[in-house]
Amino acid sequence: MVAANRSALSPQSAIVVLTGAGISKESGLDTFRDADGIWSKVRLEDVATPEAFARDPATVQAFYDARRRQLQAAAIAPNPAHLALADLEARWPGEVLVVTQNIDDLHERAGSRNVIHMHGELLKVRCGADGSIHAWRDDVAPDSACPACGRTGTLRPHVVWFGEMPLELDAIYGALDRCGLFVSVGTSGNVYPAAGFVHEVRRLGRAHTVEINLEPSETVSLFVEKLHGPASGLLPAFVSELLETVEHCGD
Ligand code: BJW
């Protein structure tokens, strides 16, 4: 494995940023595996598997209804880390792709446009009968009808549970293959395939790798550059430095 470093970056380098729950923590949304995280309050086996949904759809729908309502509360807004990534996309000459494991819409609200939600989106539902996907802001009730086929009782959250295939993997691996910089922000590195993206980037040997997280993640040893602390402080400073190198390129 060869490790590229920051000085190998050019303004045309493609950038992939993988984000996880930690980037939205300072916006008021809980992470999963921290001491006060979601999995300390509810068992993932009860709410985040297809088997749980088949067994007890009401409990699973209630879990996502509550999170959907919380996401739309006035207090929840993008923080400086989300805004920094939108700024990077607007000002970096090359491609910037955000691959998020988060199902919230805070990257879009901050202004990011090139975003892949590999674990789905909370503000969408999917029909189990016809596979159609729909924007959805309300609770999902047993008599909620699919806007496409009209059937009731067929809607499920458009999220990826354990054992299900994450979304848009071909596009993600394509972007990992051509990137010159891979940055991982606010993810513990416990859940695959996302936790394996840094392996893939290191195997190709072309990209500089950076971890920005409150604490060292499970995969920290695979990153060349490691910045530990709150993303809302570290990421804006990191993005400013990157943009400075580009904006002074012709000097
Ligand atoms: C801050 C901060 C601040 C806090 N600033 N940082 C063995 C048995 C069975 C299955 C498997 C197995 N081994 C592997 C698997 C596969 C399985 C898996 O990985 N399991 C592991 C648990 C072992 N994965 C899957 O099943 C996936 N599908 C799959 O693999 O398909 C087959 C396949 C085959 C071949 C190729 C590709 C695919 C699907 C995974 C679905 C994950 N779903 C969830 C829930 C749904 C969405 C939702 O409800 O929101 O997604 S689980 C949950 O974890 C959620 C998250 O997206 C995901 C990742 O969590 P994340 O973002 O890392 O959060 P945390 O809490 O873990 O970490 C937060 C970090 O932030 C911490 O480190 C903090 O320190 C930090 N932090 N404040 C900066 N202010």
**Which residue's alpha carbon is nearest to atom 75 within ligand 1?**
214
Residue 119 designated active-site? yes
Question: For 62-83, what is the mean pLDDT?
Answer: 98
Pick the residue whose CA is nearest to atom 23 on ligand 1: 191
Q: Which residues sit opposite 159 in a β-bridge?
A: 120
Q: Which residue's alpha carbon is nearest to atom 40 within ligand 1?
A: 162
Mean predicted confidence (pLDDT) in 13-20: 98
Which atom of ligand 1 is least distant from the CA of 81? 5
Give the C-alpha separation, 220 to 230, whole Å.
16
Q: Where residue 250 falls among pLDDT bands split at 50, 70, 90?
A: low
Band (pLDDT 50/70/90 cuts) for residue 3 is low
82-131 pLDDT per residue, tens: 999 999 999 999 999 999 999 999 999 999 999 999 999 999 999 999 99
Q: In this model, does residue 42 exceed pLDDT 70?
A: yes
Q: Which residues line ligand 1 (CB under 6 A)?
A: 20-22, 25-26, 31-34, 37, 48, 101, 103, 119, 159-166, 169, 186-188, 190-193, 213-215, 217, 230-231
- Name the residue with the closest Cα to ligand 1, atom 25: 162
Ligand 1: residue of 25, 31, 121 to mutate (most ligand atoms within 8 A of CB) is 31
Q: Of 2-6, 45-49, 243-247, where does mean pLDDT reach its minimum? A: 2-6
Give backbone dihedrals phi and psi of 247, rounded to 5 degrees, phi first: -70, -20
In the 8-state DSSP scheme, what is residue 195?
G
pTM: 0.97
With a cut of 60, say whether residue 2 has pLDDT above it: no
Read off the pLDDT of residues 182-216 as tens digits, 9 standing for 90 and up.
999 999 999 999 999 999 999 999 999 999 999 99
Residue 59 falls in which region: left (phi positive, over 0), alpha (psi -120 to 50) or beta? alpha
Q: Compute the distance from residue 180 Cα to the ligand 1 centre, in Å.
A: 24
Residue 242 has pLDDT above 80, yes or no: yes
User: pLDDT grade, residue 1 (50/70/90)?
Assistant: very low
Res. 171 pLDDT band, cuts 50 70 90: very high
**What interhelical angle do 231-247 and 80-91 show, nearest 10?**
20
pLDDT of residue 251: 59
CA angle 112, 113, 116 (to 5 degrees): 95
Tokens (6 digits) for 229 = 């602390």
Amino acid identity, position 240: S
Q: Is the pLDDT of residue 153 over 70?
A: yes
Looking at every residue in the chain, the average pLDDT score rounds to 96
Strand order in the sheet with 115-117: 115-117, 96-100, 14-19, 179-185, 208-213, 225-228
- Give me the pLDDT at residue 6, please: 81
Q: Provide the pLDDT confidence category of residue 248 given band limits of 50, 70 and 90.
A: confident
Ligand 1 centre distance from Cα of residue 182 (Å): 18
The answer to whether 236 and 211 are in contact (CB under 8 A) is no
Distance 190 CA to ligand 1 centre (A): 6
Alpha helices (runs of H) in the chain, residue ranges in sequence order: 22-25, 44-47, 50-55, 57-71, 80-91, 106-110, 169-178, 197-204, 231-247
* DSSP letters spanning 136-183: --S---TTPBPTTT--BS-EEEEE--TTSPPS-HHHHHHHHHHEEEEE
Cβ-count burial of 34 within 10 angstroms (0-12 exposed, 13-18 middle, 19+ buried)?
Answer: middle
Res 55: pLDDT: 98
